[in-house]
A and B are shown apart, each in its own frame.
Chain A
Amino acid sequence: MITALMVSLSFCAGAYDDAFQRGNTAYEQGDFAAAIASYEQLVAEGVVDADVFYNLGNAYYRENNLGAAIMNYERALQVAPRHSAALQNLEYCVAQTQHQWGKPLPPPWQEGLLMWHDNWTPGAVYRLAVLCWIAFWAVLAARLWKPNKHLTQAAIVLALAAAAFATSAYAKFHPPLIAVGTRDNTPVRFGLGGEDATSFELMQGDRVVIDARRQGWAQVRTIDGERGWVEESALALVGPPYTQPATKAAPANVQELNESNV
């Protein structure tokens, strides 16, 4: 049974690699819509990989979909903060947006407490948190067996490290709800609904934080602290969860795939 499971898993893994390769081939041949379909299929099936997001961002960029490209570069950097190619392409794309807004900053407590973890992947801090936690209890057990002041100190250090890595892991797995504008000249209004005056305009590729969501509208905040309500349909959520942006470049077969998943 285990063998059957292993064979099944390796077969599935091979299928994902094939889909990725198909996307790369399509991209190289200039068929960016097909490349997007292949990459999006992987994302829809739960593959969370920085290279997939990065290549998807490139494909969207080639399809002149700046918002979706920026969103996917953000996703790639969320999964692998040291993905230098994604970082460079993100900067390149942001420089092409009209506002050239920076990414909204995390809350001040997070910036202060977790400034050290920016370059760590979520998986790395998660594993370190578990390791420190196990080591902490192991040291406690050793201390129980043979009390020793050094073991007490080690336990305190490990407890603090476990808490720090666990907080970091939580913050990385639950990042602020960042969204990217997918349309130009989207009015961001002072109030919910379409009646209120426009506070400012959101352009394609602008990154904002979502503070609240209500009745198909999202209260967004820019890096400069400007706030307002905008229709959610004009935004693409960076995630997680990694849903496909509702964009003009969304190929039909991917939409079908998503519908079938639903």
Chain B
Amino acid sequence: MRGCLPVLLALSLSSYAATISISTESQTFTKGVPFIVEVVIGGREVTGIDLPECEGASIGRAPAYSSSAFQDVNGTITSTITLGYNVTPDRAGAIVIPPFKAVADGETVSSQDLRITVMDAPKPADSTARSTSGDRALFTEIKTDKLEAYQGEPIILTMEVWIGEGAAVRYEPTGFPELTGFYALPRDVASEGRALERHETRDGRNYKVVPFVQILFPAQSGELRIGPWTWSCSIAFGGRARSRDVKTNPFSINVKPLPPPPQGFSGSVGKYQITSSLSAPSTDVGVPSMLTVNVSGNGNPDAIGLPALPAIDGLYIDEPKRKDNAISAGPAGQDFVFKITPQRAGDIEIPAISYTYFDPELGSYQTAQTNPLVLLVRGAKKEEQVVVGAGGEFKKESLGSDILDIVPSTRTLAPEHNLTVPTMLGFGAPVVAYLAFGIALRRQRRFATDRAYARKYGALKRASELLEKARQSRKSADVLYHAVTGYVADEFDLPETGMTSAEARLFFSSQRVPDDIAEPFHKILKACERARYAASELSADEVDALIQGAKTGMERLDQFLRQGRAA
């Protein structure tokens, strides 16, 4: 007995006859393609199974799957064990699978034999061009999934690089062969190639295969040529590195024209489906909703045409917006988003939307349809709302199907003022005020801290006031004397007392005050000294003359000092 089951079931069952049967899903299989032979054994205790030898096919030693089931039929419990074995036909023609045997409930049971028909594997389309370019270390291969196609039908172009084991290859991102007459989808083939790398054995040698896939859509009928594909790399093998250019041979695709199209043909070639959906199942009158129509399929996504949306009573339909779907995975498609605005209340049916395409597998035009949709439209909102103008709330009006009403103005209307002057004033005046304040504050602080400055600042004014008093004073000589010496002391920040006419002359001389300015002071002080020490009052005329002289002298000295300071 060969091929024993590793696990045997021990079952306590009522009286039950052991059985065995085998079956397959079909009677016809393909050479080299494995299929399943299902073995069903009935019995309380199965202790082994014997797999037969089959001429023309090989039977897997271990089951691909197994299961057990129990049944209670009219109080009798039965059980079955199901085992699935892989069988691979080695030749074409009629093959007989001999009976399977099993030991169940202590007895050996045998199944019937099974007759199957094995067909040769279909020859792949002769669509492969290969260039080995001299040695087995590295070669490239370019092929398509079909050599004959309809105009617009997708063709998968596969470019493969076969790198022998032990070869170190450094290559640049690949280019494309010349594809005149084809529309090719733009794809990042270099990164995709690395992502799809695989390992294969060919002619007893291990290879790393780097594939690059491109989808082509014939844009015209006739014989379209796929040009040679050149692949450049630097290969190191056995310690030597050299540059290599590997070039495939060109080959042609026979492109058949499409049959005369029916009315409403979208222009798409391939297998397509169309669906539709609403952003919301219900809305209000005047409030738009979005109807999204999705068309997807395996054809050229850029050739997907706009589905024809019929005019629908009560709906205002805008021009749709397209949204491309990603083409990297799954069928490519496009969303068409229609903005639909209901213009009446009630249920509005959006009928089925058709999409006519050409199916190259069937060789005929097909029409896909969406399911009809219903949009529930509520009536316009009639509740009263308050109209709010710039000046406040005014009146009420129903909304929903009309604009809000006009508003009266509560403000006194007037032309807009030119803001140039207010702007200049508003922004300029604070700066000017700040500067003035700063100057005043600085002067005030200087008065408080700089005694000499403070004395100088009011010297002439104070002296002038004293001179005016001298005119009315009984002791005009004294007042005049104090006015003049006080002025000189203030101007030069000197102690006010004790300055005689002689000292004044000497002081002016030390200060390099010109004689014509200093002399009047000397004369006035001398006249005052005479009057004071002689105990005789000055006459009114003399006082006036001295006052006038003092004023003139002070002004000239003040002018001289200012000029000197400025210089």
Contacts and interface: CB of A to CB of B under 8 A. Distances in A.
A173 B417 CA distance: 13
Given A83-B388, A83-B390, A140-B434, A13 B414 contact: yes
Contacts of B427: 130, 133
A244 to B, nearest CB: 16
Interface stretch (A88-96, A103-111, A211-219, A227-235): A88-96
Interface in B381-426: 387-391, 399, 402-409, 411-416, 419, 422-423, 426
Contact of A27 (B318, B406, B412): B406
A54 B426 contact: no
Interface in A18-45: 20-21, 24, 27-28, 42, 45
Contacts of B422: 130
A52 interface: yes
Interface in A38-58: 42, 45-52, 54-55, 58
Interface residues of B, number: 39
B390 A49 contact: yes
Nearest to B391: A51
Contacts of A28: 406
A135 B451 CA distance: 35
A16 B413 CA distance: 6
Contact of A138 (B341, B416, B430): B430
A133 B426 contact: yes
Interface in B422-443: 422-423, 426-427, 429-431, 433-434, 437-438, 441
Contacts of B409: 17, 20, 49, 51-52
Contact of B341 (A17, A50, A54, A95): A95
Contacts of B438: 141, 144
Nearest to A53: B390
Given A17-B412, A85-B389, A55 B430 contact: no
A141 B434 contact: yes
Contacts of A120: none
Given A51-B390, A141-B438, A85 B404 contact: yes
A85 B407 contact: yes
A13 B341 contact: no
Given A16-B414, A47-B416, A137 B430 contact: yes
A88 B415 contact: no
A45 B413 CA distance: 11
B403 A92 contact: yes
Given A48-B416, A51-B409, A100-B339, A134 B404 contact: no
Contact of A93 (B318, B391, B403): B403
Nearest to B286: A95
Contacts of B339: 100
A98 interface: yes
Interface string B275-298: 000000000001010000000000
B285 to A, nearest CB: 12
Interface string B82-106: 0000000000000000000000000
Nearest to A42: B413
A137 B433 contact: yes
Contacts of A79: 390
Max chain B CB contacts within 10 Å: which of A9, A42, A85, A126?
A: A85
A157 interface: no
Nearest to B407: A51
A49 B433 contact: no
Nearest to B339: A100
Interface of B: 286, 288, 318-319, 339, 341, 387-391, 399, 402-409, 411-416, 419, 422-423, 426-427, 429-431, 433-434, 437-438, 441
Given A88-B399, A93-B403, A130-B422, 15 more contacts: A20-B413, A46-B415, A47-B414, A50-B389, A51-B390, A51-B391, A55-B406, A58-B406, A88-B404, A130-B423, A130-B427, A134-B426, A144-B434, A144-B438, A145-B441
Interface of A: 9, 12-13, 16-17, 20-21, 24, 27-28, 42, 45-52, 54-55, 58-59, 61, 76, 79-80, 83-85, 88-89, 92-93, 95, 98, 100, 126, 130, 133-134, 136-138, 140-141, 144-145, 173
* 3 closest residue pairs by CB, A with B: A46-B415, A137-B430, A16-B413
